[in-house]
Amino acid sequence: MKGFGSDNHSGVHPELLKAIVSANTEHAPSYGTDEYSEKAIRLFKEKFGQQTEVFFVFNGTAANVLSLRFLTERHESILCSDVSHLNLDECGAPEFFAAKLITVKSTEGKMSLADLKASLKRKGDQHYTQSRVVSLTQPTELGTCYSLEEIRAICQWAHSEGMRVHLDGARLTNALIHLNCTFKEMTTDLGVDVVSFGGTKNGLMMGEAILVLSSDLIAEAKKKLKFIRKQAAQLPSKTRFIACQFERYLSSELYLQIAQHSCSMAQKLFEGVSAVPQVKVTATRQSNAVFATIPKPWVKHLKEKYFFYVWDESNFECRLMTSWDTQPSEIDGFVNLLKQFSETT
């Protein structure tokens, strides 16, 4: 049953599946020394800057956690949004592997610079963890996007305070559509230090990449991060099957095509649910997510045909996600069901 549960629920994009099949010939060197990895790394450098160091891992939690382990010491802490994936959906892994999380209140998923400044406390106090990293999510858990100026301002402030900036980019490509910019313009040029670059939510079978962007971190990454990755059991032996997907994803405009489709389908879904009087959209639509409160009696019946998650059971705010394979007819069917319930209520 297809639905709007998550872009994790979709299958593998046919072009990326072809890339895996194509790579599945003869033998290739292991642990990232193969030609597919080399080609993918060159493409990441083209998109983010030639200084970029790339470390492939299996999943998004690993990309986030190992990035933060690289950037922090055990007595330090990470400022992150109260609704971030780091805080709510990684089973304590960031604190197990890296450092303490300090949550910052968010508005539509985003932290303001003012609230970040207010959360930086007790510098130099040996009784208190020392904040070392600001972790942003782009797009946020609520599907909103930080503007380029917001990212720039946060990076400038963080660096002035001796902190680093990590960006959880599980759906980073979708933010390109809303902001109409390049990867480099949204990250490297603004001062982002490390990116967790997502693949799984964007049509890949599996695989993410840690991207170290700051030139002054490259030497340390080469000495340290590769060992952290191995110790955490995240060094893929047959790396070519992750890398070949990223090569295909980045070598043409496939990444933009997938993001454009996902976001356009989300806009169609947003317009459809907004037209139903009893349904209230609760967050600005800036990526491939639509958040809306749906009357509780409707939810069970809707989910019998189109699965989705109830995000907040206190008010039945629901999250509706589109993906590379969402079809207009599926959105029409869902919206028509909403309208039927609306007319009989």
Over the stretch 283-315, which tens digit does the pLDDT of each residue have? 999 999 999 999 999 999 999 999 999 999 999
- Distance between CA atoms of 19 and 248, rounded to whole angstroms? 7
Tokens of 136: 């942003």
Torsion 32-36-42-47 (CA) sign? negative
What is this structure's pTM? 0.97
- Distance between CA atoms of 92 and 75, rounded to whole angstroms? 16
Sheet holding 280-281, edge to edge: 280-281, 289-293, 317-321, 309-312
Tokens of 283: 């967050």
Q: What is the pLDDT of residue 1?
A: 79
Q: What is the pLDDT of residue 252?
A: 85
Q: Which domains does the chain have, with CATH numbers?
A: 14-251 (3.40.640.10), 254-344 (3.90.1150.10)
- Say whether pLDDT at 144 is over 90: yes
